[in-house]
């Protein structure tokens, strides 16, 4: 089977400016999701179920979270003589080590991983999208068309061409045009950042690109020039797919899990995660004390609920003290919500401690003054590990990146607390 002759790279090194407050201390693919998962779990689980036996994770920015999460790959069954997963940051190279200059350069710097496994097909998949796909179907499509390159595509979910590579193809799925993030709409299909290459086509393309001054991008510098000279095909994907392009998209992808019939079917899709990380597997069931309650929530183990949580994603180890209300929010691991506090449409990163009688996410919906293009939907975000003093009042579209130590501080909608990159 051709699947036995396929290896994969997971592109997991990126940092997204529109998600900066959540990815300032981790790679975007390592952002926690859905109470016990991380975003990269979708790509890893898809590869596992598709029986891809050798995977390299290309990570660069803040790789520690990904390294801790992936570990030895046991959670996805990548152990044994015939299976394995390897973290591939640029500093592991012995000679000419350099930061990855782009997605194509990341693979180029790890060509030995390809040569050592001697595959017929090399896959590259983005590690920061939420979807379910059996890659074996794509591999079969690739082989049936004797394709040099295959690009997984989808009808464009919105009219924002500047976000995506845009792909045109004929009735036989042969790609006739590819433009990386054009200013205007050039096709109704976009690239999903999932690529298949014949190995004997990919290796010379990588060497050629490395010798040129370019952005070293897979779409722009490997695929686009190959359309006229090679056999480049599209594989249309029709399932649900979530692009976490900004805070609103991340919030909506989490809230989807709370619907009566969510299109993100974690159990049906078989999404696996590393439950040993952070000792999640050994946490006791969530406890409710006094009048504590949770309605239409996704609750992880290890929580203490004395207040009220409604329509929210609650991660392991969260404490919500009595008299507090958490509504329409995402509250990550080990957060403490003080007595009498009210949160509405707030994303709270890990290890945050919120004092008593704090209010956040309330007031007028004013776009963020520094990042209006990214933060205008009303969601406020607290960065990992910050401390919020009692009595603080925080409006909408506020980014809190450092401690608030003065009690009764007022932070109006659309402003920021702390320096943001």
- Which string of b and e fits 45-76 if b means at least 16 CB within 10 Å? bbbbbbebbbbbbbbbbbbebbeebbbebebb
- Tell me, what's the pLDDT at 196? 98
Task: Report d(CA 346, CA 66) in Å as an integer.
Answer: 25
At 17 the pLDDT is 61
Vertex 21: Cα angle to 257 and 18 (nearest 5) = 75
At the top level of CATH, the class of 284-417 is mainly beta
Write down the pLDDT at residue 392.
98
Q: What is the pLDDT of residue 421?
A: 55
Contacts of 111 (CB under 8 A, 6+ apart): 203, 206
Assess contact for 364 and 346: CB atoms under 8 A. Answer: no
Say how many C-beta atoms besides its own lie within 10 A of residue 243's C-beta: 22
Bridge partners, residue 164, by sequence: none
Q: CA 338, CA 11: separation in Å to the nearest integer?
A: 39
Which pLDDT belongs to residue 410? 96
pLDDT per residue over 259-270, tens digit each?
999 999 999 999
Identical fold for domains 2-267 and 284-417, yes or no, is no
Helices (H), 4-70: 20-23, 40-49, 64-70
DSSP, collapsed to helix, strand or coil, labels residue 10 as strand
pLDDT value at residue 84: 94
Supply the pLDDT for residue 271.
98
* Domain edges within the chain: 2-267, 284-417
**What pLDDT, on a 0 to 100 scale, did the predictor assign at position 2?**
62
How much is the pLDDT for 22? 87
What pTM was computed for the model? 0.94
Q: Are strands 353-354 and 387-388 parallel, antiparallel or unpaired?
A: parallel
pLDDT at 290: 95
Q: Which residues, including other chains, have CB under 8 Å from residue 384's CB and lie 6 or more apart?
A: 24, 25, 332, 349, 350, 351, 352
d(CA 292, CA 311): 15
Helix residue spans in 24-172 (DSSP H): 40-49, 64-70, 103-108, 111-117, 135-144
Instruction: Please report the pLDDT score of residue 91 as a whole number.
Output: 54
Class for the domain spanning 2-267? alpha beta
Residue pLDDT tens, the chain, 421 long: 566 699 999 998 666 566 778 877 788 899 999 999 999 999 999 999 999 999 999 987 777 888 999 999 999 999 888 899 999 987 544 444 457 888 999 999 999 999 999 999 999 999 999 999 999 999 999 999 999 999 999 998 765 666 788 999 999 999 999 998 888 888 899 999 999 999 999 999 999 999 998 889 999 999 999 999 999 999 999 999 999 888 999 999 999 999 999 999 999 999 999 999 988 999 999 999 999 999 999 999 999 999 999 999 999 999 999 999 999 999 999 999 999 999 999 999 999 999 999 999 999 999 988 888 888 899 999 999 999 999 999 999 999 999 999 999 999 999 999 876 5
Contacts for 160-166: CB closer than 8 Å, 24+ residues apart? 161/185, 161/186, 163/243, 163/245, 164/190, 164/191, 164/243, 165/190, 165/191, 165/193, 165/219, 165/220, 166/190, 166/191
Q: In this predicted model, what pLDDT tens digit does every residue of 150-186 receive, in sequence order? A: 999 999 876 566 678 899 999 999 999 999 888 888 8
Residue 129, SS3 per DSSP: strand
* pLDDT score recorded for residue 163: 79
- List, in order, residues 6 or more apart from 225 with CB less than 8 Å away: none
């Amino acid at each position: 089977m051709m699947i036995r002759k396929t290896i994969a790279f997971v592109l997991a090194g990126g940092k997204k400016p529109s998600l900066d407050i959540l990815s300032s201390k981790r790679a975007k693919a390592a952002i926690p999701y859905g109470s016990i998962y991380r975003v990269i779990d979708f790509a890893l689980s898809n590869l596992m179920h598709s029986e891809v036996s050798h995977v390299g994770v290309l990570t660069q920015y803040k790789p520690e979270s990904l390294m801790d999460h992936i570990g030895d790959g046991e959670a996805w069954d990548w152990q044994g003589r015939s299976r394995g997963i390897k973290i591939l940051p640029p500093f592991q190279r012995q000679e000419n080590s350099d930061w990855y200059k782009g997605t194509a350069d990341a693979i180029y710097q790890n060509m030995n991983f390809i040569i050592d496994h001697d595959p017929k097909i090399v896959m590259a998949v983005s590690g920061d999208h939420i979807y379910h796909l059996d890659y074996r179907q794509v591999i079969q499509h690739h082989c049936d068309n004797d394709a040099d390159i295959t690009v997984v595509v989808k009808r464009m979910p919105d009219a924002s061409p500047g976000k995506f590579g845009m792909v045109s193809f004929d009735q036989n799925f042969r790609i006739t045009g590819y433009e990386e993030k054009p200013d205007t709409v050039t096709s109704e299909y976009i690239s999903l950042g999932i690529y298949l290459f014949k190995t004997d086509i990919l290796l010379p393309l990588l060497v050629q690109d490395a010798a040129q001054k370019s952005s070293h991008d897979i779409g722009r510098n490997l695929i686009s020039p190959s359309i006229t000279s090679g056999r480049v095909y599209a594989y249309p994907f029709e399932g649900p797919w979530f692009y976490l392009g900004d805070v609103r998209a991340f919030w909506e992808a989490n809230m989807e899990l709370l619907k009566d019939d969510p299109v993100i079917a974690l159990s049906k899709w078989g999404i696996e995660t590393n439950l040993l990380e952070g000792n999640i597997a050994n946490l006791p069931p969530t406890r409710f004390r006094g009048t504590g309650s949770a309605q239409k929530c996704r609750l992880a183990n290890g929580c203490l609920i004395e207040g009220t949580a409604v329509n929210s994603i609650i991660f392991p180890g969260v404490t919500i003290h009595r008299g507090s209300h958490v509504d329409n929010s995402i509250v990550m691991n080990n957060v403490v919500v003080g007595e009498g506090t009210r949160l509405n449409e707030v994303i709270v990163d890990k290890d945050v401690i919120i004092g008593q009688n704090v209010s956040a996410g309330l007031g007028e919906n004013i776009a963020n003054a520094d990042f209006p293009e990214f933060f205008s939907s009303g969601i406020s975000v607290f960065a990992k590990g910050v401390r919020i003093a009692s009595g603080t009042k925080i409006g909408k579209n506020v980014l809190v990146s450092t401690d608030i130590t003065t009690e009764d501080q007022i932070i109006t909608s659309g402003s920021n607390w702390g320096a943001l990159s």
